[in-house]
Amino acid sequence: MTRSPRAVARNVRAGGIDPGARGDVAREDQPWAWDESRWRGCVERVRAGRSLKPQAWPGGAEVAVALSFDSDHETIPLRNSETHPGRLSQGEYGARVAVPRILRLLDHHRVPASFFVPAVSALLHPGEIGACVAAGHEIALHGWIHEWNTTLDPDTERDLLMRSIDVIERLSGSRPVGIRTPSWDFSDHTLNLIRELHLTYDSSLIADDEPYELLADGAPTGIVEIPVEWIRDDAPYLTMDRYTGTRPYTPPRELLRIWLDEFEQAHREHGLFQLTLHHHVIGHRSRIIVLEQLLEHISSISGVFFARHDEVAAYLAGLDPGATRRGSDRSGSETAAS
Ligand SMILES: [Zn+2]
């Protein structure tokens, strides 16, 4: 049975759990029949290497704070071939209302951020790119049209990434150095492309609370991973879909408590607090107050290093291994990390 890219993508979005698909594969291809080289090879393809948690953040800061906004706008419905005005207007709200609101808030607190922008979104809203750059924010890669990389062949993934780099460079005035794969859908080929195209960091993976170096088949790559987490993402808590059971399950002010706990623990460990936000999710009146109060709290504390993701990556890449808190072995590291 041929499975459509949409079906495959739904499987990806569901975390790869698709019992219906398993009837399609031969017995020897069932995961429980794989030999060790096969399952080990899958795990080793892209893996967390040495921690890049520094002994000290710039200026002696006790905690680093890296905010990010994924400027998806209309690209998620477009990626899903949902082309009617009703669905697209949800993305339009993000660009039209939420981005100016968020930029005002960041400016008020003088906090830099990273904006991960699909190329099609940038082409639809070039003025937004200019406003972000003028305010000192980073523009980084987030796919062409928010495509799922794991549904693409390597040549197509490369082509879309190269075209995205060209668009972002032209509209922002500088070549992007970082990528967040759309929907955090990091394919078997993504790391090779990151290296081939001389990007310096990724922010799509989840293997640690702190930044780390990516390994490719066991070998260090020099690529910095600035990890994300669903816990530190607004979308899982606040997303609504009219036609499915997806509903916001967390009152926005409860979210503030969760993120304050995340920040306080990062502060205690002298680590990184990284946040992933979406304009069309957090930018509403009853939700922006969460970000407002979070920034008020963090700004009231001394010893905070606010930084764009590219600044975090550049700082960590410039450290010699002895300046990081831990080696490649995480075991027994918690004392050293606190
Ligand atoms: Zn996105």
- To the nearest 10 degrees (0 to 180), the angle between helices 99-109 and 126-134 is 0
Say if residue 332's pLDDT is above 50. no
Instruction: Please give the pLDDT value at position 26.
Output: 87
Express each pLDDT in 124-177 by its tens digit: 999 999 999 999 999 999 999 999 999 999 999 999 999 999 999 999 999 999
CA–centroid distance, 92 to ligand 1, in Å, is 14
Residue 180, SS3 per DSSP: coil
Give the CA count within 13 Å in the CB-facing half-sphere of 178. Answer: 26
Measured at the CA of 187, the angle between CA 186 and CA 188, to 5 degrees, comes to 130
CA–centroid distance, 76 to ligand 1, in Å, is 7
Contact predicate 50/213, CB 8 Å:
yes
CA–centroid distance, 184 to ligand 1, in Å, is 8
Q: Which residues of 110-133 are buried (b: 16+ CB within 10 A; e: fewer)?
A: ebbbbbbbbbbbbebbeebbeebb
Say if residue 17's pLDDT is above 80. no
Instruction: Please give the pLDDT value at position 18.
Output: 52
Instruction: Please give the pLDDT value at position 319.
Output: 72
- Give the separation between CA 99 and CA 255, rounded to whole angstroms: 20
Residue in the block written with tokens 């609101």: 101
- Give the separation between CA 175 and CA 152, rounded to whole angstroms: 24
**Which of the four pLDDT bands, split at 50, 70 and 90, describes residue 321?**
low
> 258 in a domain, yes or no?
yes
H-helix or E-strand containing 300? none
CA–centroid distance, 191 to ligand 1, in Å, is 18
Q: Which of 26-30, 101-105, 218-222 has the lowest mean pLDDT?
A: 26-30
Instruction: Please give the pLDDT value at position 23.
Output: 59
What range does the domain containing 303 cover? 46-335
Instruction: Please give the pLDDT value at position 324.
Output: 62
Tokens of 191: 């790391």
CA–centroid distance, 180 to ligand 1, in Å, is 8
CA–centroid distance, 72 to ligand 1, in Å, is 5
> 197 in a domain, yes or no?
yes
Express each pLDDT in 52-88 by its tens digit: 999 999 999 999 999 999 999 999 999 999 999 999 9
Write the CATH number for 80: 3.20.20.370
Strands (E), the chain: 46-51, 63-70, 113-117, 138-141, 178-179, 201-202, 212-216, 219-225, 272-278, 304-306
> 116 in a domain, yes or no?
yes
- Give the separation between CA 48 and CA 298, rounded to whole angstroms: 29
CA–centroid distance, 69 to ligand 1, in Å, is 9
Say if residue 4's pLDDT is above 90. no
**Which has the closest alpha carbon to 235: 193, 282, 274, 194?**
282
> 250 in a domain, yes or no?
yes
Q: Which residues of 45-77 are buried (b: 16+ CB within 10 A; e: fewer)?
A: ebebbbbbbbeebeeebbbbbbbbbbbbbbbbb
Express each pLDDT in 255-305 by its tens digit: 999 999 999 999 999 999 999 999 999 999 999 999 999 999 999 999 999
Mean pLDDT of 18-41: 81
pTM above 0.85, yes or no: yes
> 205 in a domain, yes or no?
yes
> 162 in a domain, yes or no?
yes
Bridge partners (DSSP) of residue 274 are 66
Tokens of 16: 């790869």
User: Positive or negative, the Cα torsion across 5, 7, 9, 12?
Assistant: negative
Instruction: Please give the pLDDT value at position 320.
Output: 64
What average pLDDT is seen over the chain? 90
CA–centroid distance, 79 to ligand 1, in Å, is 11
Say if residue 35's pLDDT is above 80. yes
Say if residue 119's pLDDT is above 50. yes
Instruction: Please give the pLDDT value at position 240.
Output: 87
> 17 in a domain, yes or no?
no
Structural domains in the chain (count)? 1
Give the CA count within 13 Å in the CB-facing half-sphere of 11. Answer: 15
> 233 in a domain, yes or no?
yes
Express each pLDDT in 178-216 by its tens digit: 999 999 999 999 999 999 999 999 999 999 999 999 999
